[in-house]
Amino acid sequence: MSAETVFSNALIVLEDQLLSGSVQIRDGRITDISEGASRTGEDFGGDYLIAGLVELHTDHLESHYSPRPGVRWNKTSAIQAHDAQVVTSGITTVFDCLRMGSDEDGGFELGEMREMADAIQAAEKEDRLRATHLIHLRCEVASNNVLDHFADFENDPHVRLVSLMDHSPGQRQFQTMEQYTLYYKTKRGLSDEAFARFVDSRLALSSQFSRPHRDTLARICAQRGITVASHDDATLAHVEEAMGHGVKLAEFPTSFDAAEASHKAGMSVLMGAPNVVRGKSHSGNIAARDLAARGVLDVLSSDYVPLSLLHAPFVLADDFEDISLPQALAMVTSTPARTVSLDDRGRIAAGLRADLVRVRRQEGVPVVRSVWREGNRVA
């Protein structure tokens, strides 16, 4: 006997329209979508029914694993806490970011992120997790040991996304030394002398390793069919470099020129959902809303606040006449799914996975009422 479920009297958010009606699910897949009132099934009472959110870039797991400088939490416990929060934020597919290479924050020891990935996969096998977890390797290309870290994931099919990053001073995220000084000197209490040594070291490493590491990692990803993301592109030269590396996702461009050029080149431009909710970047770069106004914002990421991924599309739909709710929610469902070739989810359509979220919003912050992953209720 196949298990069948019906959600009725819902405001269904399809990819291109809102539809009042019902959705039928059987064996974890969407089998039918019908318009009009229904007397059968679970009555949504007019609540939204949306596709499960797809999160491509979140550092949230790291904050659970290393909640304070020098502190390491139990990996399984950290994963479960992370998983619980993302699912109750409506996220049914999450790409857990794992750092490759020692960066300005010191990074993690060689093998530490491999152990974390093993813990994620063990937790899945033990049925501890409610969301689908895939891996996003954040590769600090200016690090001298990034390839050593990356080698730990040589045969891991869970790796579906790799971002190429360089957080050296004077470029990309930190185009001015004022930004970099605030982030790395003032916040860490470095002396002038210590900060000068730090800057010189980062610049030297970037000069030596950034380009060859980008080339090597992009080549490996092309061979393995892994989606490649650029990070903090600021100039047209950065975008041209990304195009040469087969980049499909432009993460957090720091200038309008770079964002527009990336979008025109067919890349999905990703910005932070917290940026949308707050109305500005926490690091002083361009505002995601300004990219939305220009029509070059394609994907949102919760980055460091999981619930922002659901909150931000409603903000955009409220504030921009030219952005409908279906268009805004596509930035966190269908577009990110397509960008990383997950064609079986991200939309409410017959034949796709029944990754679904019941959302209520009368005003202000949306509330997640229920979450289903492949037809099974997980929250």
Q: What is the CATH number of the domain that holds 72?
A: 3.20.20.140
Residue 1 pLDDT: 40
Low-confidence ranges of the chain (pLDDT < 70): 1-2, 103-107, 167-190, 280-284
Residue 277 pLDDT: 95
CB 242 within 8 A of CB 261: no
Residue 16 pLDDT: 92
Angle at 350 between CA 346 and CA 354, to 5 degrees: 50
What is the span of the domain harbouring residue 263?
Answer: 52-344
What 8-state DSSP symbol labels residue 245?
T
Examine residue 12 and state whether it is found in any structural domain, yes or no: no
Examine residue 354 and state whether it is found in any structural domain, yes or no: no
Residue 208 pLDDT: 84
Report how far residue 341's alpha carbon sits from residue 235's, in angstroms, rounded to the nearest whole number: 27
Residue 176 pLDDT: 59
Q: 117-149: b or e for each residue (b if 16 or more CB lie within 10 Å)?
A: bebbeebbeeeebbbbbbbbbbbbbbbeebbeb
Examine residue 366 and state whether it is found in any structural domain, yes or no: no
The enclosing H or E element of 125 equals helix 112-125
Residue 188 pLDDT: 61
Report how far residue 144's alpha carbon sits from residue 128's, in angstroms, rounded to the nearest whole number: 36
Residue 169 pLDDT: 66
In the chain, the number of structural domains is 1
Query: Which residues neighbour 188 within 8 Å (Cβ) at sequence distance 6 or greater?
Result: none
Examine residue 13 and state whether it is found in any structural domain, yes or no: no
Query: Which residues neighbour 133 within 8 Å (Cβ) at sequence distance 6 or greater?
Result: 83, 94, 96, 120, 124, 158
pTM of the model: 0.91
Residue 349 pLDDT: 98
